[in-house]
């Protein structure tokens, strides 16, 4: 198997804590092609771990009824699929998720994940108010699962772009899955006038733009990277303890 991007030789192996967009894609390809993981498996593990990260940042016993309500905003691609899984596990964990998923992907994975959420009585909003105060009042926190690394903001349609514009003005906590949607995954440019999440949940390993994250909590979630792959990409990940699938950085 050849991968187009390997570790950057100019970075000392023990210091690498971030993946470039190309490396993240290469790592995923290795898991899918060499290790024969299914995409659904990885999305399920990431979504489950993301929900666990939310419970660590916002533990249920400390939350009021209103604070347990979570708006999960899902984009049309893989990041959105992870969001759908995250919402389902939040429901199982006794939070009260609501989903805004305006651009529904037609692929089977997204459709099945949507069905699972619908069957578990997770409401899907038909529109998102543009008045951010309405969101601040209705929900305790928002999960941003709109854009992942490698998806250009311009590629997603109007409703997602408008949703991101509204979320920039949010005053309740914001949790971004993998990268803050709209940030350049490499440089983190647009970090100033893009989303400013309180919590970043990096999936499997942090992406380069995470270096510019300045919110409250940064977690790595999704404990499935085999040791050999981690070494191949010269990644230094935080130590997971016990059976945790989430580690704080």
Partner 1 sequence: MSGVRTLLGLGLLVAGSRLPRIKSQTIACRWGPTWWGPQRLNSGGRWDSEVMASTAVKYLSQEEAQAVDQELFNEYQFSVDQLMELAGLSCATAIAKAYPPTSMSRSPPTVLVICGPGNNGGDGLVCARHLKLFGYEPTIYYPKRPNKPLFTALVTQCQKMDIPFLGEMPSEPTMIDELYELVVDAIFGFSFKGDVREPFHSILSILKGLTVPIASIDIPSGAGTQKVGQGRLGPYPPDSCPHQV
The residues binding partner 1 (CB under 8 A) are 34-38, 40-41, 44-45, 48, 91-94, 111-112, 115-116, 119-121, 223-224, 226-228, 240, 242-243
**CA 151 vs CA 30, 71, 136, 147, 182: distances in Å:** 20, 22, 27, 6, 9
Question: Shortest distance, CB of residue 59 to partner 1, whole angstroms?
Answer: 13
Cα dihedral 165, 189, 55, 243 sign: positive
Least distance between partner 1 and beta carbon 85 (Å): 9
For 192, residues 6+ apart whose C-beta sits below 8 A from its C-beta are: none
Choice between 132 and 237, CB closer to partner 1: 237
* CB of 154 or CB of 239, closer to partner 1: 239
Of 96 and 190, the one with the shorter C-beta distance to partner 1 is: 96
Q: Which is nearer to partner 1, 1 or 4 (CB)?
A: 1
* Number of helices and strands in the chain (H, E): 7, 8
Pairwise CA distance, residues 73 & 172, whole Å: 14
Strand-pair partners of 202: 220
CA 165 to chain centre: 18
Dmax (CA) of the chain: 51
Q: How far apart are CB 78 and partner 1 at their closest, in Å?
A: 15
CB of 50 to partner 1, least distance (A): 14
Minimal distance in Å, beta carbon 11 to partner 1? 25
> Which lies closer to partner 1 via its Cβ, residue 12 or residue 65?
65
């Amino acid at each position: 198997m050849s991968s187009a991007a390997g570790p950057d030789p100019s970075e000392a192996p023990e210091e690498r804590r971030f993946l470039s967009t190309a490396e993240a894609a290469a790592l995923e390809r290795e898991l899918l092609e060499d290790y024969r993981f299914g995409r659904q498996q990885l999305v399920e593990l990431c979504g489950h771990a993301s929900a666990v990260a939310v419970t660590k940042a916002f533990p249920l016993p400390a939350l009021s009824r209103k604070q347990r309500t979570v708006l999960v905003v899902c984009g049309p691609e893989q990041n959105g699929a992870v969001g759908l899984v995250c919402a389902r596990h939040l429901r199982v964990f006794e939070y009260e998720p609501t989903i805004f998923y305006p651009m529904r992907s037609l692929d089977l994975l997204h459709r099945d994940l949507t069905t699972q959420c619908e069957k578990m009585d997770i409401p899907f909003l038909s529109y998102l108010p543009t008045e951010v105060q309405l969101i601040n009042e209705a929900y305790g926190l928002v999960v941003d699962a709109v854009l992942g690394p490698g998806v250009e903001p311009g590629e997603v349609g109007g409703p997602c772009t408008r949703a991101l514009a509204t979320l920039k003005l949010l005053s309740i906590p914001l949790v971004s899955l993998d990268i803050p949607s709209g940030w350049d995954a490499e440089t983190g440019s647009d970090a100033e006038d893009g989303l400013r999440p309180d919590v970043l949940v990096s999936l499997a390993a942090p992406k380069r733009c995470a270096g510019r994250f300045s919110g409250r909590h940064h977690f790595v979630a999704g404990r499935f990277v085999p040791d050999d792959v981690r070494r191949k990409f010269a990644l230094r990940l935080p130590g997971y303890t016990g059976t945790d699938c989430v580690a704080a950085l």
